[in-house]
Chains A and B, each alone.
Chain A
Amino acid sequence: MIAFWVLAPIMVAAALGMVMARKAVHSALLLAIIMVSLAVLYAVQDAPFLFVVQIIVYTGAILMLFLFVLMLVGVDASDSIVETIRGQRLAAVVLGVLFGATIALGITQTSVGVIAGLDEANAEGNVPGIAVLLFSKYVFAFEVTSALLITAALGAMVLAHQERLTPKMTQRRVAERRMQDYAESGKPLGPLPTPGVYARHNAVDTPALLPDGSTSTVSISRSLQARGNIRQALVGEVDDTLEQITEDTKTRSTTGNLAPDRSADQGGPQ
């Protein structure tokens, strides 16, 4: 009974949090708390088989499926606060309180009589007891369950299946398209220029400098361009670098000692 009084408040709080949580991932994690607590309550009530099945099937399989779908659908797909039906939320809460009060009242008013306990039924162990029942009295339901599971698996496969709308891009098709582009628009056949080769830095966010001093826009990855993470390498900057390097070489030649190589971290034109 201690387990019950410890777990029951946690479960109710987690359930309320699950309903009220803004983000679906939080709801899923709170549902995991409820399910593990329920498994413990099954173990307390002489149902070790259901304890294990609850943890494996619910917390292990179903909840992970929920999380997978949440990741597919997008974690930040949160609810809109706008009510489509006016007063729906209030009405739902009032109805829920009335419903809960009715059931709770009904349960507390009735007496369940003497609790027989499962000591006799579990005499040969819980799992053999369940197996005997499952394969004698409930064998038909058990067999129908297999049909249900197969239907569900097939249904999920059909629903989640996606036809390919465009033919697969093979290496041959890529090469053909490249040649076609070259014939039509003169797009260069070779690979795009690498970033920053003739620029001040040789980082990937620095555009390559063309021989006339302008920057080549195609040398930067498109995702960097979209994020606006391009480092500007201006013509003046190159001149500054050139001046610094010439000063460096002058001082080095006059003093004669090997000063720390500053051209490495300035990455001058190579």
Chain B
Amino acid sequence: MSATPFLTLSALLFTIGAVGVLVRRNAIVVFMCVELMLNATNLAFVTFARVHGNLDGQIAAFFVMVVAAAEVVVGLAIITSIFRTRRSASVDDASLLKY
């Protein structure tokens, strides 16, 4: 079972996630795309753990999951509080610092 297809898939998913972050305007969908990027890197971690024959890569993936969970909790709380004050979940609407 070669590693290259897994790494290519990981790169592909990361790219799609990055494009999604750039293209989408809804803050929640942007967040989902960030999650997709994190998941893609996790796949690369697990694949490299298999390549190198030790479990350090899996530990790294585990820590990425923990950090992603914390990030999602805080990020979604921010989104709800912004939505509560501005009645909008679009990332373009929160532009007060620009002016």
Contacts and interface: CB of A to CB of B under 8 A. Distances in A.
Nearest to A146: B66
Contact of B12 (A4, A104, A118, A151): A104
Given A53-B62, A65-B72, A69-B76, A93 B23 contact: yes
Contact of A38 (B11, B42, B52): B42
Contacts of B66: 145, 148-149
Given A73-B89, A79-B25, A130-B58, A50 B81 contact: no
A52 B29 CA distance: 25
Contacts of B69: 57, 61-62, 149, 152
Contact of B68 (A12, A62, A162): A62
Contacts of A38: 39, 42-43
B62 A31 contact: no
Interface string B52-69: 111110110111011111
A20 B7 CA distance: 24
Contacts of B51: 112-113, 115-116
A55 to B, nearest CB: 11
A218 interface: no
Contacts of A176: none
Contacts of A152: 69-71, 73-74
Interface of B: 1-9, 11-20, 22-26, 28-29, 31-33, 35-36, 39, 42-43, 46-56, 58-59, 61-63, 65-74, 76-81, 83-84, 88-90, 92
12 contacts: A4-B9, A8-B9, A18-B29, A19-B23, A24-B28, A42-B46, A53-B62, A72-B83, A100-B15, A103-B14, A134-B62, A156-B77
Interface of A: 1, 4-5, 8, 11-12, 15-16, 18-19, 21, 24, 27-28, 31, 34-35, 38, 41-42, 44-47, 49-50, 53-54, 57-58, 61-62, 65-66, 69-70, 72-74, 77-80, 84, 88-89, 92-93, 95-97, 99-100, 103-104, 107-108, 112-113, 115-118, 120-122, 126, 129-130, 133-134, 137-138, 141, 145, 148-149, 151-153, 155-156, 159-160, 162
